[in-house]
C-alpha cells in the first residue's frame, strides 16, 4: 500500500465535503469511522455516517464548505482551523477546529470543535 500523507487525506476528505461527494467520502472513511459535531453528537460507522449525517446535511445545506486558515499535522492527526461558508445563517462563518485521525490512508474520525481559546490551547494552536 502506498502511504499518503495524513494532511493530504484530510484535505481530500474536506474536498469531498465541499463537492457533496458521498461516494468519495465513503471511500475515504474507515468502516468504523466516527463523526462528532460541535455539540458532541457522535455517529459511528461508515454507512451510518453517510445515511444519518452527510446525505441529509448535503440536502439541507447545498454549497457548504470549510475554509482552513491553519493546518497542522502531528503524526496521523491533522488539525485544521478555520470557518465554514454556507447558506444556513446559523452555520455560516462559524469558526471551528476540525480534527481528523488518519488510519491506513483513511479517515478514522472527523471531529469538529468550537474555535475557543480553551480548544486552541488544547490543540496548541
Indicate the fold that domain 6-122 takes in CATH.
Nuclear Transport Factor 2; Chain: A, (3.10.450)
**HSE toward the beta carbon, residue 33, CA cutoff 13 A:** 25
Report pLDDT for 93.
Answer: 80
C-alpha cell at 105: 490512508
**Half-sphere exposure of residue 76, counting CA atoms within 13 Å on the CB side?**
10
CA proximity to 73, closest of 91, 92, 100: 100
CA atoms within 13 A on the CB side of 55: 9
pLDDT in tens, the chain (125 residues): 677 999 999 999 999 999 999 999 999 999 999 999 999 999 999 999 999 999 998 988 888 999 999 999 999 999 999 999 987 777 778 899 999 999 999 999 999 999 999 999 999 99
DSSP string, 35-99: EE-TT--EEESHHHIIIIIIHHHHHHSTT-EEEEEEEEEETTEEEEEEEEE-S-TTTTT-EEEEE
- Per domain, the residue ranges of the chain are 6-122
Amino acid at each position: 500500500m502506498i502511504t499518503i500523507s495524513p494532511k493530504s487525506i484530510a484535505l481530500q476528505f474536506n474536498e469531498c465535503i465541499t463537492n457533496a461527494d458521498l461516494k468519495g467520502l465513503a471511500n475515504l472513511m474507515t468502516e468504523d469511522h466516527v463523526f462528532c459535531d460541535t455539540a458532541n453528537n457522535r455517529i459511528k460507522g461508515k454507512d451510518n455516517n453517510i445515511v444519518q449525517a452527510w446525505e441529509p446535511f448535503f440536502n439541507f445545506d447545498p454549497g457548504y464548505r470549510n475554509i482552513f486558515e491553519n493546518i497542522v499535522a502531528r503524526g496521523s492527526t491533522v488539525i485544521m482551523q478555520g470557518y465554514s461558508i454556507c447558506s444556513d445563517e446559523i452555520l455560516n462563518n462559524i469558526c471551528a477546529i476540525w480534527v481528523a485521525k488518519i488510519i491506513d490512508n483513511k479517515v478514522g474520525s472527523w471531529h469538529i470543535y468550537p474555535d475557543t481559546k480553551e480548544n486552541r490551547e488544547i490543540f496548541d494552536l
